[in-house]
Chains A and B, each alone.
Chain A
């Protein structure tokens, strides 16, 4: 990271862009995916802030994330309202604070799959799953990378313009969703365990 900064200092504005490309040539999407794919399981806490046009303040939610390769992702929201999403394969199980559970089959909802795969496929290092729904581009270095996902489907584009995922090596740090209506949300992830 220091090395990176040094280069910025030395080469300056225009060169920085160029250097980014050079870096990317040495640090490719495949490299990142391979790195991510080696992880078998991990847990983290998250803080998500939603910036919505209708509201004068961002909405904050917090909770825990757990991922088990290859396809189980659990998002346990604790505040402001408890809610658990368990994604396993093709099934999404929602458990609400009132105790009600419902199960959704993802095959029925292409938009939800696209949404879900942005995180799950990234965690699993599943490049082909990502590229099914997004144009994938990578910036930065292994130490500090940014993966940019742009939806391919028209239906998805109407909702979401871009997803930016920042991370260090095999660790995700932030996920930012940019919505088509100008609203956006940022999720800050702190890893608590990793295998």
Chain B
């Protein structure tokens, strides 16, 4: 291979670096859930994504006020609600104040003739009214009679009951001193709804801070009172903050540790800075490539991608310490094969339908290639003619003696491998973790608070949803009415325990018009009523303003979303019927009758009524389904990656060398898996990424050991071994730190790589280097 001149190499490098910096500067970094969403989602996954993005779940903030006494908490609840009501970042705030409740009641009562699902064309004929009245009398005879009888004079056909029945079985929050309180009455509770939907964590964080500031500045607030919050937005902001602070803390510590180690070895700032060039270049090129290919870079990619430093820094270590290599061709050949091996492994990730993994794959490949190119063509040009690296002959000798001793244990790795395999196959432990929550960095305490606030507010966990889209508001409501009829049947069959539809709160214009048309003119109505009352224990003169109310309802303007202003039903409607640029998204929550709801049966019922375009989703099942799919896919892709690496090695260096590279790495990987499983830590997708990195790093070690040593001087060999040890130490240190993180995502990758890299080196020394020690 003809090498480009040093000047050309430097020029290309500088231009590329500049280009990468420009791209990075114009990159959008995102930190939302999109990385976890499939690239080509199916209908249900699409609905799930929409629910998470725009549904009530994403926008709901649960607020609690604790400490102080009940009166103080009630006062603060009212003040906070008033403050937040003026804040445009929130579309609604509710604290259970009687005024809102009264507005809801008066909305339903005043508009009962537009809202009642019982009103059809025959409702106000003599027999229709008689039937309604009889039902009303039966209800009055029953246990709720005390309440029902008050309705009779103005609502003898029982429309209010028909409306209320739709909402039966809801467990709302408790009220004390005019505000919502928790079950144990020691906490005032409120609900706020973020005005804007979407997943922008930054803006959610700002809005949540707005709540904290509003609370902190409430007048004459007792110091003993405090604010607690939960909800999806609170949890995602919290987890982002935890990850961010942990990444920063650990990355700083890790970098310092690696720099310290390198300084100790090099004793030269120049070399240290040069050594970091491939790393920096690799990181910049990696981010730039992802940005160009995906349009944006996810924060997670950046976080996991820093692991790349682990391998990139190794290249310069190898170069500097083995600088006096008399056969540079062999040295670069080994490095090239190492890079190719890693690239092959990570290439598999690029085919993942999980954008997070695909981004990570591209980032690693482009970053590694860039780092290797810089090490190959730029560093030699910049390296001072005489390197100030200490000659560490003594250390090299000790290491050689140590490694020679290890060689006596060449039987150990394979014995361990068989032991591990036996353990794995007989183990009762679950090997794979199926819970998405296993990746969540949110603390147990925060999860408990979330559960307790949710139960205080009686807010359904919104696990089951019927969802569809419609081209217009009216269409959405008409479709919702059709769905309502099906769901009502399912409710009677106890297949579902309850449901909400937007049309319960705001009927379509068509239904409203039909109901209005069902009300006859006053003279006709009077005659029919007289007929209906014959033989009934109700006298017409007791029915106060029934006729006037009906006459009014006949003339009343159509109900619109504005008619609900100020009611809590408006918030509910807003969460179920969502306007989007191109259409309307409807999401109707279902309650299970027992513990679980059979979504297939509900879907079948909807299909049977010609509503197949509506989708029933079990959000919990769907989420873990996606996660399962990713894990499954990642398993396949890693498998394919391993096979590809095997083929690459076979073609480039023959089966013998391949065996020496594969054996120690396979032993190390199996060892790590067994260790984790035995410790009761089921594997996640992140462990898999960690293992891939172990394969990349470990194969480098083995390649150096396996490279034919007979042609190497003893001195050279010692330096090579020393460089491997230092590279390994750097990896173990930085990943070991990650492994100690409290954030599962970081600790999974960290511990996997640290243990795996160490085992790889030791096993490679035993298996590969052992040959030489025993057969000099």
Chain A contact residues, CB within 8 Å of chain B: 48, 50, 52, 54-57, 59-61, 75, 77, 80-81, 83, 85, 94, 98-105, 107-108, 159, 179, 183
Contacts and interface: CB of A to CB of B under 8 A. Distances in A.
B542 interface: yes
Contacts of B2: none
A50 B171 CA distance: 29
A24 B517 CA distance: 65
A99 B174 contact: no
Contacts of A52: 140, 149
Contacts of B8: none
Nearest to B145: A50
A105 B171 contact: yes
Contacts of B183: 107
A9 to B, nearest CB: 41
Contact of A75 (B138, B143, B174): B143
Contacts of B137: 55, 59, 80
Contacts of A85: 143
Contact of A102 (B168, B493, B538): B168
B286 to A, nearest CB: 56
Given A55-B537, A59-B137, A100-B168, A183 B143 contact: no
Contact of A54 (B174, B494, B538): B538
A54 B149 contact: yes
Nearest to A177: B146
Contacts of B146: 159, 179
Interface in B128-163: 137-143, 145-146, 149, 152-153
Contact of A100 (B139, B142, B171, B491): B491
A56 B538 contact: yes
Contact of B492 (A61, A75, A100): A100
Contacts of B142: 61, 77, 81, 83
Interface in B153-197: 153, 168-169, 171-172, 174, 183
Given A81-B139, A81-B141, A83-B143, 7 more contacts: A50-B145, A55-B537, A81-B142, A83-B142, A100-B169, A100-B491, A108-B174
Nearest to A179: B146
B25 interface: no
Contacts of A60: 141
14 contacts: A50-B140, A50-B145, A55-B140, A55-B537, A56-B538, A57-B537, A59-B140, A61-B141, A80-B137, A100-B494, A103-B171, A108-B171, A108-B174, A179-B146
Given A102-B168, A108-B174, A59 B141 contact: yes
Nearest to B539: A56
B143 A56 contact: no
Interface residues of B, number: 26
A75 B492 CA distance: 22
Interface string B530-546: 00000001110010000
Given A75-B143, A100-B491, A56 B537 contact: yes
A81 B149 contact: no
Contacts of A100: 168-169, 491-492, 494
A54 B542 CA distance: 6
Nearest to B168: A102
B492 A77 contact: no
B634 to A, nearest CB: 44
Nearest to A62: B141
A34 B168 CA distance: 39
* In the complex, the 10 A-B pairs of residues with the closest C-beta atoms, listed nearest first: A102-B169, A57-B537, A59-B141, A81-B138, A61-B141, A55-B537, A80-B138, A56-B537, A54-B542, A108-B174
B152 A107 contact: no
A165 to B, nearest CB: 18
A49 to B, nearest CB: 9
A50 B491 contact: no
Contacts of A54: 149, 152-153, 538, 542
Contacts of B539: 56
Contacts of B168: 100, 102
B145 A55 contact: no
Nearest to A185: B145
Most chain B CB inside 10 Å of its own CB: which residue of A48, A59, A99: A59
Contacts of A50: 140-141, 145
A94 B493 CA distance: 16
A90 B152 CA distance: 31
Contacts of B138: 80-81
Interface in B521-564: 537-539, 542
Interface in B427-466: none
Contacts of B149: 52, 54, 183
Contacts of A107: 174, 183
A103 B141 CA distance: 21
A188 to B, nearest CB: 15
Most chain A CB inside 10 Å of its own CB: which residue of B142, B146, B168, B494: B142
B96 to A, nearest CB: 12
A155 to B, nearest CB: 12
